Amino acid sequence: MSTTRMELRMRTVGEWAENTYALVCPTTRQSALIDPGAEPETLQAVLADTQPVAILITHTHPDHIGALDAMRTALNVPVMAHPGPHAGSDLAADRWLKDGDTVSVGRHSLQVYYTPGHIGDMVCFSAVGDERVLVGDAIFEGGPGKTESTEDFQTTLRTLHDVILAWPDDTVCYPGHGPHFRLGDKRAVIEAFLGKDHGNFFGDAVWEM
């Protein structure tokens, strides 16, 4: 089974050091490009020797879609994203995703998890049959994604509790910024974070606050 896992490629691009990923079916060489943030030439290189079949968007913040128009034109494949509510983006997807949907990439598939809070159109993509999840800006090694209002922060807390902590400990989260991490290594600090009263807080949160 492990020999047939999807190949995961990553490049950090642009002024916000955003992680763009590509998942490749090793059998068919079909690929999906996730979050084309910047540097189209770099993203073309990350797709080398593959046949792209989709562009997936974890959410519509500019650091994740800065090279979308260029890559959409270059690849001519469907763009898939959650319908939101968006915050300031006029993204027109070819396929609107909802929680529980799957996206085929060759003989593999990705499952969509709706994870709002950081923004209203935030989704994660898990590689079905293995432990890897591309989590966008829903969660980082050091804390949850930044929020713009108390209401959004409360939504983040619900997403952490109801969706992300429901994943197995062996889940490996690949975020939109910074290093990947094993969920089980963070479970205790996340649970402690959820157990505290954060009042009317919103903004850039860290687990230790």
**Residue 147 or 171 having the CB closest to Zn ion:** 147
Give the per-residue contact string, 87-116, with Zn ion (x = CB under 5 A; - = no): ------------------------------
With CB atoms as reference, the residue minimizing the distance to Zn ion is: 61
**DSSP H stretches of helix in the chain:** 40-46, 62-65, 68-75, 150-162, 183-195
The least distance separating Zn ion from the CB of residue 5, rounded to whole angstroms, comes to 26
For residue 7, count other CB atoms closer than 10 A to its CB.
Answer: 13
The least distance separating Zn ion from the CB of residue 118, rounded to whole angstroms, comes to 6
The least distance separating Zn ion from the CB of residue 168, rounded to whole angstroms, comes to 25
Taking each helix axis as running N to C, give the angle between helix 183-195 and helix 150-162, from 0 to 180 degrees, rounded to the nearest 10.
Answer: 130
> Which listed residue (35, 39, 63, 152) binds Zn ion by CB under 5 A?
63
Alpha-carbon distance values, 144 to 134, 136, 203 (Å): 14, 11, 10
Q: Decide if residue 176 touches Zn ion (CB under 5 A).
A: yes
Q: Decide if residue 121 touches Zn ion (CB under 5 A).
A: no
Q: Decide if residue 14 touches Zn ion (CB under 5 A).
A: no
Question: For residue 41, what are the contacts with CB-CB under 8 A and spacing of at least 6?
Answer: none
Q: Decide if residue 82 touches Zn ion (CB under 5 A).
A: no
**Residue 106 or 136 having the CB closest to Zn ion:** 136
The least distance separating Zn ion from the CB of residue 10, rounded to whole angstroms, comes to 14
> Which listed residue (35, 39, 101, 137) binds Zn ion by CB under 5 A?
137
Max Cα–Cα distance, the chain, nearest Å? 51
74 within 8 A of 44, measured Cβ to Cβ: yes
d(CA 129, CA 132): 9
Count of alpha carbons within 13 angstroms of residue 94, beta-carbon side: 12
Local structure of 198: helix, strand or coil: coil
Listed ranges 100-108, 152-160, 173-181, 188-196: which one lies at the site for Zn ion (CB under 5 A): 173-181
> Which listed residue (24, 43, 52, 61) binds Zn ion by CB under 5 A?
61
Local structure of 74: helix, strand or coil: helix
**Residue 59 or 132 having the CB closest to Zn ion:** 59
**Residue 83 or 129 having the CB closest to Zn ion:** 83
Site for Zn ion, rule CB under 5 A: 61, 63, 137, 176
